[in-house]
A and B are shown apart, each in its own frame.
Chain A
Amino acid sequence: MATLEIHDLHVSVEAEAGPREILKGVDLTVKQGETHAIMGPNGSGKSTLAYSLAGHPKYRITGGTVTLDGEDVLAMTVDERARAGVFLAMQYPVEVPGVSVSNFLRTSATAVRGEAPKLRTWVKEVRETMERLQMDPAFAERNLNEGFSGGEKKRHEILQLELLKPSIAILDETDSGLDVDALRVVSEGVNRVRGTGEVGTLLITHYTRILRYIKPDFVHVFAQGRIAESGGAELADKLEEEGYEAYVKGGVTA
């Protein structure tokens, strides 16, 4: 059973005035089958955690460990992490002109699965997954993320999640900028993947809205670069009512 263990993770970014520490000792364990919601105010370091786990070069790990089934994730290159089973659904997927969605998906699936998927079953698999996400088949021939609306970008991220079947899925503000219909479609996609019981999900969000569609097993409040409080789904209800103010203020004195 896949387990992602984050222990005392410290991460800095280069800023004009020198390195600035953003994550200040994060501890978290995510097991296959579990869903953890990470919530917190803007600037608390939620996205930094997501990108650090995926290996974005902008973030420098200054301390701590991250392991996936005992393997050192931090020692892996970005592509090795993905092939090891870590998937990051990005908040702002970049445009890659001239690379078609279908070419990209197949290249990616080939890399992650270790062999090229059989063309016939692959085409069917992609088509059916796209249908479930209410994506137009013509979408596959468009250039990667180019001119995609916010909703299209998010559907496309979840399409990849469904096709690549990671053991750890990190969803970075997948709900932001979505209208209710799109949020429902995207959430259904996430729930299909969760329903297999094969994935541990790290759901990063600013709002509680998405938690009405995707029920977390654990909720963690992120503030000032670390987890300030952990609880069950009921913690989200509390945040819904009270907001993050207690954590923002409390963090300063803590």
Chain B
Amino acid sequence: MAEAQNIPAGSTTAGSIAVAAESTVATRMSAPPSYDVADFPVPHGREEEWRFTPLERLRGLHDGTAVAADGVTVEVTAPDGVVVETVGRDDARIGKAGTPVDRVAAQAFSSFEKASVVSVPRETVLSEPIRIAVHGEGGTAYGHQIVELGAFAEAVVVIDHTGDAVLAANVDYLIGDGAKLTVVSLQDWDEKAVHVAQHNALVGRDASFKSVVVTFGGDVVRLTPQVRYAAPGGESELFGLYFTDRGQHQEHRLFVDHDAPHCKSNAAYKGALQGAGAHAVWIGDVLIRASAVGTDTYEMNRNLVLTDGARVDSVPNLEIETGEIVGAGHASATGRFDDEQLFYLMARGIPETEARRLVVRGFFAELVQKIGLPDVEERLMTKIEAELEASV
């Protein structure tokens, strides 16, 4: 077996950025993955997986004191042919896509009562998206959502989080052979919400998975998207956008586990930050195991710091256990508004505020254009406009 290589993160620094040299993905977690919350010690904040997260703002999700009450509502709107179910804990599909990797995910897994399952039968190609609306009215909830695509099925799922809640959840994507799943997860919470979730994608043979994670709202949002490949030939694209405002903590922790040969992954997350105490964290772990020959992977994180007082921690981490790969790379950069861009636009008569807007819109537009869903793209650009209205 080839020795694990650890390539430390390379980042440019213009705003505030911390880059850590990491140990391996598995060993730096404080406990191995488990479905049982008891297997994880209560974090104190210095653990590798918790060191960026303000535990005191998690409202007890991390230490067992958050008691489910009043919940959240989950409404599924699906086109004909889709099976929508609510199932008990003993359903065989639960937990199949992945195992909780931290205490809050395990807490959610140990605490949820009913799971929502949306399944698209094999060879069913949907022309309309499935919409899952998760709404909170100040309650505390532990959730479990499963989206299952049979072989060669194709679907788009939009999961929309709104309102105010303290929510810990696991979201499983079971993608059958040759199936194509696009999931857009919008975190459009009110300002007090706390949302911690693990996303588990299990990508079948020659299947493709596209995840678009969009985080605007909430007091603390911490998402842990995980991708594994059940068989060779799978492909995943992980796109993310966040706009972190004053006082918000938004954390995205990706892990792509290349454990099957000839699979691809491409992660691209972009964020803008503004205001004192705005804190964005991006962790991009990619592991290419010895068995994963022919892997092609790239991950990228870009941050645009609009004002003083915002902080970014961006840590891409690529571990390669085989040299027999097509390609592997990562990039991370955090920049302030580029004064040269501003000068160029203003030198063409464009006023400063409009020039700034043009640049921020442009910064996100590249990624938004890759989503491929016009209504979601439009909503995102509108949202970005609104964020900019508030800032400039």
Contact = CB atoms under 8 A, between A and B. Distances in A.
B349 A143 contact: no
Contacts, number: 81
A90 B350 contact: no
A79 B347 CA distance: 5
A235 interface: no
B90 interface: no
Contact of A108 (B350, B352, B364): B350
A93 B365 CA distance: 21
Interface string B337-368: 01111011111111110110011011111100
A77 B346 contact: yes
A54 B348 contact: no
Contacts of B343: 54, 56-57, 78, 94
Nearest to B339: A57
Task: Give the interface centre of A79, A90, A103, A143 by most chain B CB atoms within 10 Å.
Answer: A79
Q: Which among B345, B351, B365 has the highest number of chain A CB atoms within 10 Å?
A: B345
Interface string A42-67: 00000000000011110000000000
| B contact residues, range | 20 to 34
Contacts of A81: 347
Contacts of A195: none
The CB with the most chain A CB atoms within 10 A, among B351, B354, B362, is that of B362
B349 A111 contact: yes
Band of interface residues on A: 20 to 34
A97 B349 CA distance: 19
Given A107-B350, A164-B349, A99 B344 contact: no
Given A57-B339, A97-B362, A98-B366, A112 B344 contact: no
A94 B344 contact: yes
A79 B352 contact: yes
A164 B362 contact: no
A160 interface: yes
B341 A108 contact: no
B11 to A, nearest CB: 18
A180 interface: no
A79 B362 contact: no
Nearest to A85: B349
B362 A143 contact: yes
Given A77-B346, A82-B346, A96 B352 contact: no
A13 to B, nearest CB: 14
Interface in A123-146: 143-144
A83 interface: yes
Contacts of A108: 345, 348-350
Given A98-B361, A111-B351, A79 B366 contact: no
Nearest to B302: A97
Nearest to B350: A111
Most chain A C-beta atoms within 10 Å of own C-beta, residue among B349, B362, B364: B349
A112 B338 contact: no
A88 interface: yes
The 4 closest A-B pairs by CB, nearest first: A98-B362, A111-B349, A82-B349, A108-B348
5 contacts: A55-B346, A77-B352, A82-B347, A83-B349, A111-B349
